[in-house]
Amino acid sequence: MDETMNETARTPPFAPFEWLLSGRYLRARRKEGFISVIAGFSFLGIMLGVATLIIVMAVMNGFRKELLDKILGLNGHLLVQPLESPLTDWKDVAERVSLVDGIRLAAPVVDGQALASSAFNAAGVLVRGMRSADLNNLTSIAKNIKQGTMEGFDEGQGVIIGRRLADQLSLHAGDTITLVAPKGAVTPMGTTPRIKPYKVAAVFEIGMSEYDASFVFMPLPESQAYFNRKDDVTAIEVFTSNPDRIDAFRKSVTEAAGRPVFLVDWRQRNSTFFNALQVERNVMFLILTMIVLVAALNIVSGLIMLVKDKGQDIAILRTMGASQGSIMRIFLITGAAIGVVGTLTGFFVGMLICLNIESIRQFLSWMTNTELFSPELYFLSRLPAEIDFGETTAVVIMALTLSFLATLYPSWRAARLDPVDALRYE
């Protein structure tokens, strides 16, 4: 007996026979098929849970990044608005602000609402007056011209409209669009609407349906005349080198302005939208984590049934000299193998889908003959996926941890099994 105990004590952890038995228990025979089915469902649950978590988090990150790029590509990171008096000194203010370190562009703008119409349809639009040089520095517009050209934008009476607006009004570059502003000339009979036709110089498409369907860009001098602004502008849109450091720029821009101004940054202008995205992202993470947790509980139930079924085998192993630690490690390896393989498979499936998600969406749309990702509902014209490797690593570690914890109790029960009782009642 002493020799057996000494031999047991010298058995190294995770010895080859422990791996051999664990592999044998994972390959259940026909009469043990039910246990094998539970293990299979546990594997599928963990795989699908990890893959779904990775895909959903990547899509949510992609949504935020794409929307942030689109919104900040057209609207400034800081909006400089006048206080006390109109912004008639906008040229000097814009020049001083543009010299601040880290400021890419300070663009004076005139914003106003109008009704755009053609011979076929009409739609409400936001007219934005900008200088040609500033518009050329907006890469979201300058690099996404689909029809026409921006050359001579300041010289003529042309305007630049979004692709969806052009489709809605059945217009192309070179056609005429009519803009109707509610406040026009003042006459003895009152203020009359201002109606003026413009040539469509170019058509842009940035990929965000709300902007492509509502923005009309007009030369700054023309917009000042059209909206009855003598020599002032609505505001100055300031674009920085790093929108996440916007707080560091506020003081510098205020000092550079050299006059009373009111600053609004991109977080304040879009706070409700991005807060809603963040809440939705957190809730989705918690909900989908439940899938992995349920799969881990399946491992618990499967291992408990396996321990009950293998009670006689455990008793024989114990009488042959296997220690409680060896028995526990055998079942730990069995349960952990399901979790590790399921997690790694889910990781590769999730990454594969994320890298090809737009192609998959187009294929499913073609198969079902429906539009699965309508730009009118989701703002973007394509399904984005941005993989955050830190977040993905956290998902994998969480799944592995849950899988390992799920094996502890059944393994402990197997190790505590009394070999005498197990042989007596078999």
**pLDDT digits 0-9 by tens, 147-173:** 888 876 766 668 999 999 999 999 998
194-204 and 145-148: which strand pairing?
antiparallel
Measured CA to CA, the distance from residue 395 to residue 382 in angstroms comes to 26
pLDDT confidence tier of residue 418, bands split at 50, 70 and 90: low
Q: What mean pLDDT is predicted for residues 107-114?
A: 91
What sign for the dihedral angle of Cα 31, 37, 42, 46?
A: positive
- Domain spans, the chain: 16-68+274-424, 85-259
Query: Token pair 């025979």 is at which residue?
Result: 29
| pLDDT at residue 348 greater than cutoff 90 | yes
Average pLDDT of the segment spanning 101-106: 88
pLDDT tens digit string along 263-292?
988 888 877 777 887 788 788 888 888 878
3-class DSSP state of 150: coil
pLDDT exceeds 70 at position 12:
no
Nearest CA to 243 out of 105, 405, 54 is that of 105
Distances (CA, A) of 346 to 45, 47, 60, 294: 9, 4, 18, 15
Residue 123 near residue 215, CB atoms below 8 Å: no
Confidence of residue 334 (pLDDT cuts 50, 70, 90): confident
In angstroms, the CA 357 to CA 363 distance is 10
**Are 52 and 291 in contact, with CB atoms under 8 Å apart?**
yes
Whole-number Å distance between alpha carbons of 372 and 365: 6
**pLDDT top residue among 8 and 32:** 32
pLDDT in tens, 63-83: 777 777 777 778 888 889 888
The whole-model pTM stands at 0.66
Residue 232 CB-half CA count within 13 A: 11
Task: Tell me the mean pLDDT in the region 49-74.
Answer: 82
The rounded percent of the chain whose pLDDT value lies above 70 is 81
Q: Which residue in 340, 346, 339 sits closest to 303, CA to CA?
A: 339
SS (H, E, C) 352-377: HHHHCHHHHHHHHHHHHCCCCCCHHH
Element (H, E) at 234: none
Integer angstrom CA distances of residue 231 from 195, 397, 399: 21, 61, 62
* Cβ partners under 8 Å of residue 412, min gap 6: 328
pLDDT value of residue 116: 92
**Rounded mean pLDDT of 194-221?**
88
Confidence of residue 216 (pLDDT cuts 50, 70, 90): very high
Band (142; pLDDT cuts 50, 70, 90):
confident
Contact 79, 239 (CB under 8 A): no
Q: What is the mean pLDDT of the chain?
A: 80
| Most distant pair of Cα atoms in the chain: their distance | 118
Pair of tokens at residue 334: 């069995």
Q: DSSP class of residue 374?
A: -
pLDDT of residue 9: 46
Q: Which of 112-116, 200-204, 383-387 has the lowest mean pLDDT?
A: 383-387
